[in-house]
Chains A and B, each alone.
Chain A
Amino acid sequence: MDGPALLVEHLTKRYEGATAPAVDGLSFAMPRGATWGLLGGNGAGKTTTIAMLLGILVPSAGRVRALGHDMAGEERFAALARMNFSSPYVALPQRLSVIENLRVYAHLYTVPRAERRIAELADQLQLGDLLHRPAGALSAGQKTRVALAKALINRPELLLLDEPTASLDPDTGDWVRGWLERYRAESGAAILLASHNMGEVERLCGHVLMLKQGRIVDQGSPAALLSRYGRDDLEEVFLDIARDRRRARAAAE
């Protein structure tokens, strides 16, 4: 199908009673099959942006089209059936077993041949031994794999991930990143990733949106950003932007 995976135009969110907008006039078009990163400090507007992209939060202005569907009204359900989401801050029912959780979401996403799909995911994400254990009894790494299985249950064409490797040890984090790379290559899905892990963004993302106070203050490929800021890693670029170091440096010179 033609058109970008995500088309965002002048997206703005001003919460009731807030003095400044949480998101202020974002515009971008994310192509299908791409992996993009959303970078910014705490309060930069990443979670608010993702919530609006998912249609769970109504923008104050602007619009979002996901997979060609307007996310403001009823049309959003057609897009939601073809996308998915994972966040360590939104849990799965802890008392249900892993397989019961996956069955619930297979039904909610009307996945055909659900049991076969669950078996596939269990195999790919090494969940075989965990399927009959309560979700609440899993380690952080195991929970992340289960959350990924939930997020992939409907073979999404667009995947929104909020800090997918938060609180994981380096080994598990690396495993998840490798898995996401393979998934994108095999499925052609578009992935938008909000993360504080600069190494992760540098490794996975072909394009990065740098957010500050709800605005896109810079964007480009990780290589382009490194070159533009004259830095060796994205963490330094992030700090330059977060602390206005470039402007301070220019003023000092």
Chain B
Amino acid sequence: MTGGAARRIWGLAYRHLALFRRSWPRLLELMYWPTLEMLVWGFVSSYLAGVHAAGDAGGAGAVVAGLLLGGALLWEVTLRSQMGFTLSFMEEIWSRNLGHIFVSPLRPRELLAGLMALSVARTLVGVLPAVGLAWWLYGYGLFAAGPVVVAFWAALMVMGWAVALGVTALILRHGAGAEALAWSVVFGLTPFCAVFYPVATLPEWLRPVAWALPAAHVFEGLRAASGEGARIAWEHLAAAFALDLAWLAAMAWVFLWQFRRARVRGALLTMGE
């Protein structure tokens, strides 16, 4: 990356950081949903751990409870990563600023890099406080399973970017009218990502769908890394990253295709009006 590219990416990031700096409600909103999710799943986990405690010498109840809370926290990474990317793009549409952005020397790939950097920042600000609170309130350490959790986190974040690229392509195609997708698409994937249950729980015909998603491999890996006989499921980790790369490449192609189509239709200058 050249110095010029880095500066342009920083320019895009600075625009959003300046916005957050002058608006604490926006900053609070980033943390609100992950923390709320963590609280709900934390109480569910506590309840399940308590129910199982009486006749559970091996502590299986605690493991299941931990998996639920860990699943909820890590799934938030995908959600916040996707929303962080897409909402940063939507922000430019809402402020009718896209026309200025697209006639500046900022290349589309630099725009994507800037949106990914913002997605990382928004995810960290949103999810890390919930991770800290989970440890404080429920004694649950997300990173207790070791550095592999950082790899899980990264794989889920990249999946969020792939989904965000697809959603942003749809927004380029259909305009701000498609903005509801920014909030809903990843939620629609939740049943197939095996966040709270193994892929084997799904009907057989649905399992190939789950295995095509990086998140299903991450959560299988998380389950393998917890409880008795815990191990690092390298095969799932490798599959998650391989699928991430494939989805990211495919969705980047779709985004660039729709970007070019938007240039043909004349949508870039008028989007948001």
Chain A: CB-nearest residue to B92? A93
Which residues of chain B are within 8 angstroms of A91 by Cβ–Cβ distance?
Answer: 95-97
Cross-interface CB contact of A108 among B11, B260, B265, B273, cutoff 8 Å: B11
Q: Are B105 and A81 in contact (CB-based, < 8 A)?
A: yes
User: B266: shortest Cβ distance to chain A, in Å?
Assistant: 5
Which residues of chain A are within 8 angstroms of B4 by Cβ–Cβ distance?
Answer: 110
Which residues of chain B are within 8 angstroms of A77 by Cβ–Cβ distance?
Answer: 105, 107
A16-B265, A108-B8, A108-B12 as given contacts; A93 in contact with B105, CB under 8 Å: no
Q: Are A85 and B266 in contact (CB-based, < 8 A)?
A: no
Q: Are A108 and B97 in contact (CB-based, < 8 A)?
A: no
A15-B265 Cα distance, complex, nearest whole Å: 7
Which residues of chain B are within 8 angstroms of A93 by Cβ–Cβ distance?
Answer: 15, 19, 91, 95, 97
Q: Are A107 and B265 in contact (CB-based, < 8 A)?
A: no
Interface residue B200 (Cβ < 8 Å from any Cβ of A): no
Q: Are B95 and A107 in contact (CB-based, < 8 A)?
A: no
Annotate B112-123 by CB proximity to A: 1 below 8 A, 0 otherwise: 000000000000
Which residues of chain B are within 8 angstroms of A13 by Cβ–Cβ distance?
Answer: 266
A92-B273 Cα distance, complex, nearest whole Å: 13
Residue with the highest number of chain B CB atoms closer than 10 Å, among A13, A16, A58: A58
8 A Cβ contacts from A171-229 to B = none
Interface residue A95 (Cβ < 8 Å from any Cβ of B): yes
Q: How many residues of A contact B (CB 8 A)?
A: 38
Q: Are B14 and A107 in contact (CB-based, < 8 A)?
A: yes
Interface residue B264 (Cβ < 8 Å from any Cβ of A): yes
8 A Cβ contacts from B130-175 to A = none
Which residues of chain B are within 8 angstroms of A51 by Cβ–Cβ distance?
Answer: 266, 269
A105-B264 Cα distance, complex, nearest whole Å: 25
Which residues of chain B are within 8 angstroms of A109 by Cβ–Cβ distance?
Answer: 104-105
Which residues of chain A are within 8 angstroms of B8 by Cβ–Cβ distance?
Answer: 107-108, 110
Interface residue B181 (Cβ < 8 Å from any Cβ of A): no
A94-B96 Cα distance, complex, nearest whole Å: 9
A96-B19, A100-B18 as given contacts; A108 in contact with B102, CB under 8 Å: no
Annotate B17-50 by CB proximity to A: 1 below 8 A, 0 otherwise: 0110011000000000000000000000000000
User: B29: shortest Cβ distance to chain A, in Å?
Assistant: 14
Q: Are B12 and A56 in contact (CB-based, < 8 A)?
A: no
Q: Are A56 and B263 in contact (CB-based, < 8 A)?
A: yes
User: A153: shortest Cβ distance to chain B, in Å?
Assistant: 10
Which residues of chain A are within 8 angstroms of B268 by Cβ–Cβ distance?
Answer: 56-57
User: B127: shortest Cβ distance to chain A, in Å?
Assistant: 25
8 A Cβ contacts from A81-103 to B = 81, 84-85, 87, 89-97, 100, 103
Q: How many residues of B contact A (CB 8 A)?
A: 33
A90-B100, A92-B100, A95-B23 as given contacts; A58 in contact with B105, CB under 8 Å: no
The total number of A-B Cβ pairs within 8 Å is 104
Interface residue A80 (Cβ < 8 Å from any Cβ of B): yes
Q: Are A56 and B99 in contact (CB-based, < 8 A)?
A: yes
Which residues of chain B are within 8 angstroms of A35 by Cβ–Cβ distance?
Answer: none
Q: Are B104 and A80 in contact (CB-based, < 8 A)?
A: yes
Q: Are B106 and A92 in contact (CB-based, < 8 A)?
A: no
Interface residue B10 (Cβ < 8 Å from any Cβ of A): yes
A2-B162 Cα distance, complex, nearest whole Å: 45
Q: Are B107 and A104 in contact (CB-based, < 8 A)?
A: no
Cross-interface CB contact of A54 among B11, B97, B103, B264, cutoff 8 Å: B103
Which residues of chain B are within 8 angstroms of A145 by Cβ–Cβ distance?
Answer: none
Q: Are B102 and A56 in contact (CB-based, < 8 A)?
A: yes
A108-B14 Cα distance, complex, nearest whole Å: 10
Q: Are A85 and B263 in contact (CB-based, < 8 A)?
A: no
Interface residue A63 (Cβ < 8 Å from any Cβ of B): no
Which residues of chain B are within 8 angstroms of A58 by Cβ–Cβ distance?
Answer: 260, 263-264
**B residues whose Cβ falls under 8 Å from a Cβ of A:** 4, 7-8, 10-12, 14-15, 18-19, 22-23, 91, 95-97, 99-107, 260, 263-266, 268-269, 273
Q: Which 5 A-B pairs have the closest CB atoms?
A: A107-B11, A90-B99, A91-B96, A81-B105, A108-B104
**A residues whose Cβ falls under 8 Å from a Cβ of B:** 13, 15-16, 47-48, 51, 54-58, 74, 77-78, 80-81, 84-85, 87, 89-97, 100, 103-110, 150
Pick 23 A–B contacts, CB within 8 A, sort by A.
Answer: A57-B268, A58-B260, A84-B103, A85-B99, A85-B103, A91-B95, A91-B96, A92-B95, A95-B22, A96-B19, A100-B18, A103-B14, A104-B11, A105-B100, A107-B8, A107-B10, A107-B14, A108-B8, A108-B12, A108-B104, A108-B105, A110-B4, A110-B7
Known pairs A16-B264, A55-B103 / 10 extra A-B pairs, C-beta < 8 Å: A56-B263, A85-B103, A89-B273, A90-B97, A103-B18, A105-B104, A107-B8, A107-B10, A107-B14, A110-B105
